[in-house]
Amino acid sequence: MDDTTGRTAHASERPAGPPAPDRPRGAREIQDSRVLAALTHPLRRRLLDLLKVEGPATVGKLAGRTGQAVGNVSHHLKVLAESALIEEAPELARDRREHWWRLADRELSWTRADFDGDPVAEAVADAAGSILLERQVELVREWSARRGGYGTDWRDGCSVATQTWLRLTPEEARELAADLHAVIQKWAHRPVPEDGRDRETVLAFAHSVPAKP
């Protein structure tokens, strides 16, 4: 995920599992605050992440991965489905009782400025951005707690925390944001080599915002 060019976007990842050939679709720009509202819950954000990284899944599998009750997960999946953020994958079911879900779109993005001028929409956009940032910080903190369980190859230089203070015009700030976005998208869209090497999922995100020390 990244928050670079004034928007919040899910970076592309190759879905696991056997989705239909034309699923998930390409990029979707969210401009409806009612759809964006579906992203204002931490569990729903995690469910989308799981479907992106691990591919289509059943309610039971998602409940097991999140430690939530099946009924609770089912409710939040329904909210995501009503906003067309996910869809059922009936071809994966072994019988009529089994229900599989997958992402409807490979990438999601939204631009904060699209929601300016409507107090309700602004509140929704701010909440969606806040939950995304909280999730990013949570995962960074989890890495600090879990890094001891990884080999030295992963502990040595594979994570990064960097910052600097810049003096920029609005045009220069947009250029910086575009550069950061391009770097992440380069890696997000690369074909994953089929070379037999073990690979971990890695969260890459960036923020550049006007601020004062």
Q: Which residues pair with 27 in a beta bridge?
A: 107
Distance CA 77, CA 86 (A): 8
Over residues 141-198, the pLDDT tens digits come to 988 888 878 888 787 778 888 899 999 999 999 999 999 999 999 999 899 999 999 8
Instruction: Decide: residue 108, CB within 10 A, 0-12 exposed, 13-18 middle, 19+ buried.
Output: buried
Q: Indicate the pLDDT class of residue 6, thresholds 50, 70 and 90.
A: very low
Checking if the pLDDT of 202 tops 70, the result is: yes
Percent of the chain with pLDDT over 70: 88
Q: What pLDDT does 98 receive?
A: 87
Structure tokens at 60: 């039971």
Please tell me the pTM assigned to this model.
0.80
Over residues 63-80, the pLDDT tens digits come to 999 999 999 999 999 999
Nearest CA to 127 out of 41, 63, 24 is that of 41
Q: What pLDDT does 4 receive?
A: 32
Q: What pLDDT does 24 receive?
A: 59
Checking if the pLDDT of 17 tops 60, the result is: no
Query: Is the C-alpha dihedral spanning 25, 52, 159, 192 positive or negative?
Result: negative
Higher per-residue confidence, 181 vs 5: 181
